[in-house]
């Protein structure tokens, strides 16, 4: 089973075990190797603002940042999956709580969305161009729907 670690430095209570379970689901659903490693960091607004400025040259806190490591990718059909370190997804639960409330679906659903979004970025997906946006968000929606309806 994939190795997922959570480093919780946030002052907001978060279901870390639920995030690990979802990350393992995403890794399996995307067809990545069972030995894929992923790190999830939960941080407060000050820390993510610092990272946002340092790595994206943008001010203020954000909801999610992704830092890829080994260029892990989804294997083509018939191609074997290769183990590796996917990277680090940094989430800010406080920002997620605000966004989840504004969207009317709460903090947990927002963190699920952000984790999925972050993992897709680690795999090289982007949404800068309209075509990329359409592909990434369609895949994100399919993954979230599968996660939310699993075992039903």
Q: What is the pTM of this model?
A: 0.95
Number of structural domains, the chain?
A: 1
First to last CA, the chain: 22
Write out pLDDT tens, residues 28-52.
999 999 999 999 999 999 999 999 9
pLDDT value of residue 97: 96
- Reading the block at residue 67, the tokens are 């830092």
CATH of the domain at 73: 3.40.390.30
pLDDT value of residue 57: 96
Write out pLDDT tens, residues 56-102.
999 999 999 999 998 899 999 999 999 999 999 999 999 999 999 99
Range of the domain at 38: 3-149
- pLDDT confidence bin for 151, thresholds 50/70/90: confident
151: left (phi over 0), alpha (psi -120 to 50) or beta: left
């Amino acid at each position: 089973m994939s190795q997922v670690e959570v480093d919780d430095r946030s002052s907001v209570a978060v279901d870390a075990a639920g995030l690990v379970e979802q990350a393992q689901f995403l890794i399996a659903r995307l067809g990545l190797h069972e030995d894929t490693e992923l790190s999830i960091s939960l941080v407060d607004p000050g820390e993510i603002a610092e990272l946002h400025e340092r790595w994206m040259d943008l001010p203020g806190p954000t909801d999610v940042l992704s830092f890829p490591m080994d260029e892990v990718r989804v294997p083509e059909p018939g191609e074997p999956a290769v183990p590796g370190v996917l990277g680090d997804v940094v989430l800010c639960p406080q920002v997620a709580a605000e966004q989840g409330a504004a969207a009317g679906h709460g903090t947990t659903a927002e963190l699920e969305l952000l984790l999925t979004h972050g993992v897709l970025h680690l795999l090289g997906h982007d949404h800068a161009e309209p075509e990329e946006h359409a592909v990434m968000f369609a895949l994100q929606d399919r993954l979230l729907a599968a996660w939310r309806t699993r075992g039903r």
